[in-house]
């Protein structure tokens, strides 16, 4: 339901026309907005008192960038944001449906298939959110919207921006609604740090409320409720038995005893069909399957299904002729080998992964009986073993919408194919294969590769070829050495989002397929209709992979054993310098009153660490902290061992980094969680 705008409400924000009020929350006012192209969106305007806070803006910017990477599986997609606007705002997908809390208040508790649908939908959303390394932190019935067909979870990941704002959050104040808080959110001294398991606990409380009309630790006051969460078992009376057992597991006091979001989703899908089929819609089951994002490489033997070419064959009409292919089950474009690869441009601020593939970092080593992926000879080499297909263990970062993949690939033994999976969900997704004398493009499923189309190539055994896959909407184009050779329209079979990784196929069933990869780049590509950014110019970020540079960066992974780090370059500027970089009027509040501003590149790069690299922290030998020059990081020597201990939890931290010749020579702590 939309209410009229109030006196003092803006009529427009960031180019979005505001049509009415959807609500008011702790974050600020929520408006129904209209995009210039006519689409309806939800525009969340941050509370005005937070606008002058530099710390809040920096945290808000970081959390929004993370939230943008969450795939749209039962979540309201983050569409736009401007943390640097005089009144910061966030734009998300408009979900035309009531909240779970409103439905329960109006109609009473849910039951049967309706309850199970909500349970599966919210678990699906958590699996997608956690798969993008985001934590919701404020999951509650009012943040679950019951859209037609699919429940949608909103406001994920943003609570931390408020939690970390010291100027507006008292030290004894908790962010969230007590009835849905995990024990560690209330008392982390005894129950450990707040992580994804807290969202799983909140799921259990939300589903208890959905099925009974009350929370599992209900008491007369927030303080009494918190005490019951810390000390008493949950009251699950009224929940159906199979679901009650799953909910009980999610409400364990110890976070380690709760299932992960992916495990929770599998538990729900494995329940007896009699408890879930009545009202669960096919699109919800499809979203649930898509959200089960397993970053581990393929484990079980699989058979390859090659499309039989009946009478048509593959034509190779000389070195200067046409490469043509026609196969059942797909649409293949006939192209000239001289035709240039389709142009693409990285989406403004979109995610990117860059890795030389010369050492373990974003892609990792993996050895099993079915095959192995190891780093040797300065590249990633993949071999089959007992299985004809083997995937390397790659990054879990999901990519949605348009994207481009570039990688060098070499076929090292006859009958081998270098495989590139994209939009991969679990172990399935579109597959581009560079083989010894052809390129293939199809859909990898549990039954093998289906709908495959092919195009012939001259043999280049042992030579590195530059392969590019460009994905636009539901179509993919493969180019080799700068020439487009194959296009396929996947249609509805193309997943909405998924991971990218590499591997090997044994087309000859020899048991010894062997390929190599080098120099990987995966980016979100700008769509054909993308308009220029309304937030002003995007400045250049430091290229840590070459030359001699110094920059502040987010440290995502640190592996001293393999001398590698995964970094995300960022800007860490005074307010005045930030306004110059973004061409903001010098009279703007950000230029005058903000001591420091940050901007993330949203680009993860693997950078080698020099043998003589130096490490620094803010702590002096006596343990005192001295933060004199934040942009340069700590100045007290730490040593590689102490530095490794600081980051062993794998949480993203901010460091000042210096590289020489593309190798890290200095890392200094700026901020750790």
Q: Which residues are catalytic?
A: 138
Dist CA 621 CA 641 (whole Å): 15
For residue 44, say whether it is annotated as part of any ligand binding site: yes
> Quick one: CA torsion of 541, 547, 551, 555, rounded to 10 degrees?
90
Dist CA 99 CA 549 (whole Å): 50
Structure tokens at 298: 């393929």
DSSP-derived pairing of the beta strands 483-489 and 379-384: unpaired
Helix runs in 401-506, H state only: none
For the stretch 354-357, contacts whose Cβ atoms lie closer than 8 Å and that sit 24 or more positions apart, written own/partner, are 354/520, 354/521, 354/522, 354/545, 354/603, 354/604, 354/605, 354/606, 355/520, 355/605, 355/606, 356/518, 356/519, 356/520, 356/545, 356/606, 357/407, 357/517, 357/518, 357/519, 357/520
E runs forming strands in 402-481: 403-411, 416-424, 429-435, 438-445, 448-456, 465-472, 475-480
| 3-class secondary structure, 93 | strand
DSSP-derived pairing of the beta strands 12-13 and 16-24: antiparallel
Structure tokens at 24: 């008011």
161 exposure class (CB count in 10 Å sphere: 0-12, 13-18, 19+): buried
C-beta neighbour count of 340 within 10 angstroms: 10
Could you tell me how far CA 177 lies from the centroid of its own chain? 26
Span between the terminal Cα atoms of the chain, in Å: 39
| 3-class secondary structure, 204 | helix
Backbone angles phi, psi at 40, to 5 degrees: -85, 140
Residues making up the annotated binding site for ATP are: 44
């Amino acid at each position: 339901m939309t209410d009229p705008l109030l006196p003092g409400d803006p009529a427009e924000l960031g180019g979005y026309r505001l049509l009415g009020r959807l609500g008011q929350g702790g974050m600020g006012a929520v408006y129904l907005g209209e995009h210039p192209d006519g689409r309806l969106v939800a525009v969340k305007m941050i509370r005005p008192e937070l606008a002058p806070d530099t710390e809040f803006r920096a945290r808000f910017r970081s959390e929004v960038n993370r939230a943008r990477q969450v795939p749209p599986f039962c979540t309201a997609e983050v569409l736009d944001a401007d943390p640097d606007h005089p009144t910061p705002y966030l734009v998300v997908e408009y979900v035309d449906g009531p909240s779970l809390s409103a439905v329960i208040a109006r109609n009473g508790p849910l039951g049967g298939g309706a309850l199970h649908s909500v349970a599966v939908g919210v678990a699906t959303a958590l699996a997608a959110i956690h798969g993008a390394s985001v934590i919701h932190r404020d999951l509650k019935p009012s943040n679950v919207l019951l859209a037609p067909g699919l429940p949608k979870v909103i406001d994920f990941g943003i609570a931390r921006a408020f939690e970390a704002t010291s100027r507006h959050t008292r030290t004894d104040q908790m962010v969230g609604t007590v009835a849905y808080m995990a024990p560690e959110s209330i008392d982390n001294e005894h129950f450990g740090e707040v992580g994804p398991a807290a969202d799983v606990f909140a799921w259990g409380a939300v589903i208890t409320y959905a099925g009974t009309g009350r929370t599992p630790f209900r008491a007369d006051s927030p303080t009494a409720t918190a005490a019951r969460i810390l000390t008493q078992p949950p009251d699950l009376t009224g929940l159906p038995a199979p679901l009650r057992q799953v909910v009980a597991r999610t409400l364990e006091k110890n976070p380690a005893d709760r299932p992960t979001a992916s495990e929770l989703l599998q538990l729900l899908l494995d329940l007896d069909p009699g408890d879930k089929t009545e009202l669960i819609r096919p699109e919800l089951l499809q979203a649930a399957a898509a959200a089960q994002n397993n970053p581990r490489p393929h484990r079980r033997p699989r058979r390859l299904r090659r499309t039989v070419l009946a009478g048509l064959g593959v034509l190779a009409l000389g070195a200067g002729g046409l490469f043509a292919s026609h196969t059942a089950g797909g649409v293949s474009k006939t192209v000239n080998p001289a035709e240039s690869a389709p142009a693409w441009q990285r989406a403004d601020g979109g995610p990117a992964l860059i890795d030389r593939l010369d050492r373990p970092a974003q892609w990792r080593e993996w050895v099993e009986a079915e095959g192995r992926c190891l780093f040797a000879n300065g590249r990633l080499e993949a071999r089959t073993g007992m299985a004809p297909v083997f995937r390397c263990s790659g990054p879990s970062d999901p990519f949605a919408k348009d994207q481009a993949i570039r990688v060098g690939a070499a076929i090292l033994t006859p009958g081998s194919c270098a495989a590139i999976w994209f939009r991969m969900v679990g172990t399935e997704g579109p597959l581009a294969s560079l083989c010894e004398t052809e390129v293939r493009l199809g859909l990898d499923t549990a039954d093998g590769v289906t709908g495959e189309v092919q195009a012939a190539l001259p043999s280049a055994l042992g030579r590195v070829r530059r392969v590019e896959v460009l994905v636009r909407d539901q179509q993919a184009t493969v180019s080799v050495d700068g020439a487009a050779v194959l296009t396929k329209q996947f249609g509805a079979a193309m997943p909405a989002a998924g991971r990218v990784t590499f591997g090997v196929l044994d087309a000859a069933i020899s048991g010894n397929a062997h390929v190599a990869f080098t120099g990987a780049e995966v980016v979100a590509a700008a769509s054909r209709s993308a308009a220029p950014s309304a937030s002003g110019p995007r400045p250049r970020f430091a290229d840590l992979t070459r030359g001699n540079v110094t920059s502040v960066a987010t440290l995502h992974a640190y592996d001293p054993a393999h001398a590698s780090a995964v970094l995300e370059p960022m800007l860490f500027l005074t307010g005045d310098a930030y306004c110059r970089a973004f061409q903001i009027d010098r009279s703007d509040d950000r230029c005058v009153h903000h001591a420091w501003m940050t901007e993330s590149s949203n680009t993860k790069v693997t950078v080698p660490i020099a043998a003589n690299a130096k490490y620094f922290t803010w702590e002096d030998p006596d343990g005192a902290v001295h933060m004199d020059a934040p942009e340069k990081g700590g100045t007290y020597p730490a040593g590689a061992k102490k530095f490794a201990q600081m980051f062993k939890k794998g949480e993203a931290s901010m460091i000042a980094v210096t590289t020489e010749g593309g190798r890290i020579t200095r890392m200094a702590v700026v901020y750790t969680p």
